[in-house]
């Protein structure tokens, strides 16, 4: 279903609010992308890399012990954590780096929060032999040391960003500023379904493979479409990717879970869809966390990937029109879910994904027995083990401390 | 349309000079002292003053103006306070000098387009520059500004193709701001070789004066450019001078650039 209401617009949201220097590059990207999409060899090339290198399709796994523990709907997991590099991010970076190569671009820049998008971009650049520079908030560089190492090992240059809140939003500002200076030969691989047109569309299209696979797999696994799909929402690329192919299916409830941080009343959260107001950030009009004077506020989440004060414009549109339901999960709830999923299913979910799991329990009960709930397992938690273990590990099941 | 901007360019031209558009950050180091900086720029010869209003996420700005924005935000600068406390006082001290607000679109949106346009007009603002508002997105804002008599000043970039540059120029209000370099604001040792050609192209198409900005910090650069443009914008160099040495340094730098602008 097409949610695009005008070129680059999703209802009131979207657009292209960038310095004039970048406008011709965005137009060039829009044209090159349209041409690539019209060329069957491009789709075939992307599909081949996803199959041979990324390991797609990712599996749809029944979560039997969670289903039993939650006492409601059948719970299934779409396993993006099993994609190469450990998260859905690789779907988009493979697509965009192939597009950049097609456009004759000589180098790649990217921004990253948790580091998953940076690792995925560095990986695609290594695969296709393009130099890669990744901007990362200095705070995130500290808390995601493992991913910083992975990017460097893959040959990328990591640039810590010291301005502002030293997190994802500042990394994105710096990447845009750098892109303005090098726009003629550089492609900026945006990792979320955010930013100026055509990025929200490009990223969504490359991520929609998650939802398309899920449609086929759900039919095969339980003979119908899921009754509800839940995904975590930071900028929103895994969410729009898994949800978009179901927008036109009214029987499927679409649910996004945002970072509740220390609680919605605390002022320290990343809940742009829930508490954000209309504004312009990083080139697109969407819902953003800002004060009354239009200054962007710092977001907070235990998960670096959800620590972003904006959200993709298409998700803002889906939330405002009511097609997508929006809930939040706090840092503590996400942490509790991390251990629950680890111990009941043998999967360490990323802290981002743990937010989706945190709302899974009540959703499973709301839906009730005989219904099917799919949780998008957007990434694995290996990158988060330092953050999580620093808080102390709860005792093992059935063992007295 | 604002007559004040046209008059300022005409006055400079009559004196055989290119116009100096001087940028400062309102609220750096605080609101009252930034008025002193702006006043000093006018005393030094600035023909038009660009009043920067800080935004937390300034994607078109380099480190100097970014730093100034951070200081201004810490000092409590907001669009409302700049319109209430900086613009009226500056207008009182320098009644002849057109004032142009430069900020980002989100700051205007937060106040509300119509409320801003009305306040800006009442307080004596002649024009507005929004570096993240390309023509495709400017429709409603420009209609609102036109109705209030506030000029929405467009930008052209080095990457703008000729046909697009001509379209931007033909439809301009106030003046056309030609971005000299592909990049963010900040001083550059060298300006691109094809800059004069691009300026001439825009100048030919534009009914309004054309100025070059981004990267310009010396009298020599100003002198070279004034052969191809009606004026220059100087920002980061002034912000840095004022931050390091206060208003008198901004005054001295404006005077020096003005000497370069003599034809």
**pLDDT value, residue A401:** 60
Residue A2 confidence class, pLDDT cut points 50, 70, 90: low
Average pLDDT over residues A101-118: 95
Q: For position A176, what pLDDT does the model report? A: 93
Contact A317, A3 (CB under 8 A): yes
Is the pLDDT assigned to residue A381 strictly greater than 70? yes
Q: Which one has a higher pLDDT value, A4 or B34?
A: B34
Assign B108 to helix, strand or coil. helix
Instruction: Write down the catalytic residue from A30, A80, A111, A314.
Output: A111
User: Which of A186, A293, A308 is best to mutate for the B interface (most B CBs within 10 A)?
Assistant: A293
Residue A398 has pLDDT above 80, yes or no: no
Q: Determine the pLDDT at residue B1.
A: 45
Put simply, the answer to whether A296 touches B106 (Cβ < 8 Å) is: yes
pLDDT range class, residue A114, cuts 50, 70, 90: confident
A286 → chain B, closest CA residue? B106
Q: Indicate if A378 belongs to the active site.
A: yes
Least confident range from A133-142, A162-171, B97-106, B198-207: namely A162-171
Tell if the CB–CB gap between B78 and A293 is shorter than 8 Å. yes
Angstrom distance (rounded) from CA A29 to CA A25 = 6
pLDDT (mean) for A228-256? 98
ipTM of the complex model: 0.96
Contact A176 B80 (CB under 8 A): no
Return the closest-CA partner of residue A328 out of A297, A285, A295, A289: A289
Between chains, do B132 and A18 touch, taking CB under 8 Å as contact?
A: yes
Q: Which of A215, A287, A252, A257 is nearest to A11 (CA)?
A: A287
Determine whether the interchain pair B137/A173 forms a contact, defined as Cβ–Cβ distance below 8 Å.
Answer: no
Q: In Å, what is the CA distance from A91 to each residue of A84, A315, A383?
A: 9, 19, 19
Average pLDDT over residues A380-385: 92
Chain A residues with CB under 8 Å of B59 CB are 18-19, 173, 176-177, 180, 282-283
> What's the Cα-to-Cα distance from B69 to each of A174, A358, B29, B51, B77, rounded to whole Å?
15, 39, 10, 12, 9
Question: Taking an 8 Å Cβ-Cβ cutoff, which residues of chain A contact chain B?
Answer: 15-25, 163-164, 169-170, 173, 176-177, 180-184, 278-283, 288, 290, 292-296
- Residue A22 has what pLDDT? 96
Q: Would an 8 Å CB–CB cutoff place B194 in contact with chain A?
A: no
Q: Is B84 a catalytic residue?
A: no
| Strand, helix or coil for residue A150 | helix
> Are B109 and A280 an interchain contact pair (Cβ–Cβ within 8 Å)?
yes
* Residues 93-132 of chain B whose Cβ lies under 8 A from any Cβ of chain A: 104-111, 131-132
Among A216, A194, A248, which residue's Cα sits nearest to residue A374? A216
What's the average model confidence in pLDDT over A369-390? 95
Interface mutation vs chain A, best among B27, B31, B56, most A CBs within 10 Å: B56
Name the 3-class secondary structure at B199.
helix
**For A109-115, what is the mean pLDDT?**
93
- Edge-to-edge strand list for the sheet holding B176-179: B151-153, B125-129, B99-102, B48-52, B19-25, B231-234, B210-213, B176-179, B155-156
Across the interface, of A19, A290, A292, the residue whose CB is closest to B59 is: A19
Edge-to-edge strand list for the sheet holding A284-288: A9-10, A13-14, A284-288, A277-281
Please state the length of chain A: 401
Task: Check residue A6 and give its pLDDT.
Answer: 77
Candidates B78, B108, B179; nearest CB to A21: B179
**Annotated active-site residue in B17, B47, B61, B230:** B61
Dihedral sign, Cα of residue A64, residue A66, residue A69, residue A74: negative
List average pLDDT for each run of 10 residues in chain B, which is 263 residues long. Answer: 88 97 98 98 98 97 96 98 98 98 98 98 97 96 97 97 96 97 91 94 97 96 96 98 98 98 93
């Amino acid at each position: 279903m097409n949610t695009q209401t005008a070129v680059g617009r999703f209802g009131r949201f979207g657009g292209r609010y960038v310095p004039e220097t970048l406008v011709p590059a965005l137009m060039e990207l829009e044209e090159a992308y349209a041409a690539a999409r019209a060329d069957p060899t491009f789709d075939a090339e992307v599909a081949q890399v996803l199959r041979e290198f990324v390991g797609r399709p990712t599996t749809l796994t029944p979560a039997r012990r969670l289903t039993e523990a939650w006492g409601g709907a059948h719970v299934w997991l779409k396993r993006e954590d099993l994609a190469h590099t450990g998260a859905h991010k690789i779907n988009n970076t493979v697509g965009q780096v192939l597009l950049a190569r097609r456009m004759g671009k000589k180098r790649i820049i990217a921004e990253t929060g948790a580091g998953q998008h940076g690792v995925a971009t560095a990986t695609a650049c290594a695969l296709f032999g393009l130099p890669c520079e990744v901007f990362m908030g200095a705070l995130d560089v500290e808390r995601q040391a493992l991913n910083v190492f992975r990017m460097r090992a893959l040959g990328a240059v990591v640039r810590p960003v010291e301005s502002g809140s030293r997190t994802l939003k500042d990394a994105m500002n710096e990447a845009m500023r750098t892109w303005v200076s090098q726009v003629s030969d550089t492609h900026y691989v945006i990792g979320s379904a955010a930013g100026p047109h055509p990025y929200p569309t490009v990223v969504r299209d490359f991520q929609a493979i998650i939802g398309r696979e899920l449609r086929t797999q759900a039919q095969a696994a339980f003979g119908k479409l899921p009754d509800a799909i839940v995904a975590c929402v930071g900028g929103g690329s895994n969410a729009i990717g898994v949800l978009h192919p179901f927008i036109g299916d009214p029987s499927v409830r679409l649910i996004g879970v945002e970072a509740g941080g220390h609680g919605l009343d605390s002022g320290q959260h990343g809940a742009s869809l829930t508490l954000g107001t209309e504004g312009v950030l990083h080139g697109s009009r969407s819902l953003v966390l800002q004060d009354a004077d239009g200054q962007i506020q710092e977001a907070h989440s235990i998960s670096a990937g959800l620590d972003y004060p904006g959200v993709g414009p298409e998700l803002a549109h889906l939330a405002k029109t009511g097609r997508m339901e929006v809930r939040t999960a706090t840092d503590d709830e996400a942490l509790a879910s991390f251990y629950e999923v680890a111990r009941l299913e043998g999967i360490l979910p990323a802290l981002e994904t743990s937010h989706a799991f945190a709302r899974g329990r009540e959703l499973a009960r709301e839906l009730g027995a005989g219904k099917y709930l799919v949780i998008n397992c957007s990434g694995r938690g290996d990158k988060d083990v330092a953050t999580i273990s620093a808080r102390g590990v709860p005792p093992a099941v059935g063992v007295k401390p | 349309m604002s007559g004040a901007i046209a008059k300022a360019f005409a006055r400079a031209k009559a004196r055989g000079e290119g116009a100096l558009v001087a940028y400062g950050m309102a609220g750096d180091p605080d609101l009252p002292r930034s008025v002193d900086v702006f006043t000093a720029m006018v005393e030094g010869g600035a023909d038009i003053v660009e009043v920067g209003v800080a935004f937390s996420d300034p994607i078109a700005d380099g480190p100097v103006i970014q730093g100034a924005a951070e200081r201004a935000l810490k000092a409590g600068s907001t669009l409302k306070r700049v319109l209430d406390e900086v613009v009226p006082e500056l207008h009182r001290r320098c009644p002849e000098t057109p004032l142009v607000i430069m900020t980002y679109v989100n700051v205007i949106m937060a106040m509300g387009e119509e409320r801003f346009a009305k306040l800006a007009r009442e307080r004596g603002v002649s024009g507005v520059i929004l570096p993240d508002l390309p023509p495709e997105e400017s429709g409603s804002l420009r209609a609102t500004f036109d109705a209030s008599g506030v000029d929405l000043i467009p930008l052209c970039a080095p990457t703008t193709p000729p046909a697009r540059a001509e379209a931007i120029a033909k439809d301009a209000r106030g003046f056309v701001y030609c971005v000299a370099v592909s990049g963010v604001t900040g001083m550059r040792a060298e300006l691109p070789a094809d800059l004069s050609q691009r300026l001439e192209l825009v100048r030919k198409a534009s009914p309004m004066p054309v100025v070059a900005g981004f990267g310009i910090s010396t009298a020599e650069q100003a002198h070279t450019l004034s052969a191809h443009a009606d004026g220059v914008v100087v920002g980061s160099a002034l912000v840095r001078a004022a931050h390091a040495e206060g208003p008198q340094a901004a005054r001295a730098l404006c005077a020096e650039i003005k000497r370069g602008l003599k034809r």
